């Protein structure tokens, strides 16, 4: 069985697979306690399969949130490693494209996460080109102080 994982929407995951010449697609709402792996196990039980039935995996990359992409890629790569299965990254959840690509990928080649934009995690990032999205969350006096420091530093450079 070949499984395509689309984890690009907040709070839900879509699994696609072909069973008995029929395309099966299910959406699962994820909660923090269960997560992606629990959703996969629930879906496999629903369709009467186990993880050992997995012969190849696809994962949608380049869309969705940073953490969702990282989690989906990590899970797909880990399962591919554990079961000796190929894994491929795709730009969307087109199952026909997935099946064409998965047949060309050797076992042992893994997917690198591709993101839709720069990660917005960690400390406040400030640049001379107008600050950042998080800068807007600061109080006006603090924003003015930070922007002045950045501008002064830029002028000295």
3-state secondary structure of 145: helix
Could you report the per-residue pLDDT of 80-108, keeping only the tens digit for each? Answer: 999 999 999 988 888 888 888 988 989 98
Least confident of 87-91, 123-127, 152-156: 123-127
Is residue 77 over pLDDT 90?
Answer: yes
Least confident of 23-32, 77-86, 120-129, 145-154: 120-129
Neighbour tally for 71: CB within 10 Å? 19
Q: Which domains does the chain have, with CATH numbers?
A: 2-102 (3.30.420.40), 122-157 (no CATH)
Calpha distance 130→139 (Å, rounded): 16
Calpha distance 44→105 (Å, rounded): 24
Could you report the per-residue pLDDT of 17-76, keeping only the tens digit for each? Answer: 887 778 888 888 876 556 888 888 888 999 999 988 999 999 988 777 777 888 889 989
Sheet strand arrangement including 12-19: 22-29, 12-19, 2-9, 56-60, 87-90
């Amino acid at each position: 069985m070949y499984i395509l994982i689309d984890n690009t929407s907040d709070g839900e995951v879509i699994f696609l697979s072909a069973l008995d010449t029929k395309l099966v697609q299910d959406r699962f709402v994820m909660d923090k306690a269960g997560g992606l792996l629990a959703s996969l196990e629930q879906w496999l039980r629903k369709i009467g399969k186990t993880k050992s039935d997995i012969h190849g995996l696809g994962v949608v990359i380049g869309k969705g949130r940073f953490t969702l992409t990282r989690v989906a890629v990590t899970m797909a790569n880990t399962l591919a490693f554990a079961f000796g299965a190929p894994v491929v990254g795709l730009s969307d959840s087109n199952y026909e494209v997935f099946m064409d690509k998965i047949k060309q990928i050797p076992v042992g080649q893994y997917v690198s996460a591709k993101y839709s934009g720069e990660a917005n995690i960690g400390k406040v990032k400030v640049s001379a080109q107008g600050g950042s999205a998080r800068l807007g969350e600061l109080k006006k006096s603090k924003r003015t102080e930070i922007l002045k420091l950045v501008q002064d530093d830029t002028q000295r450079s």
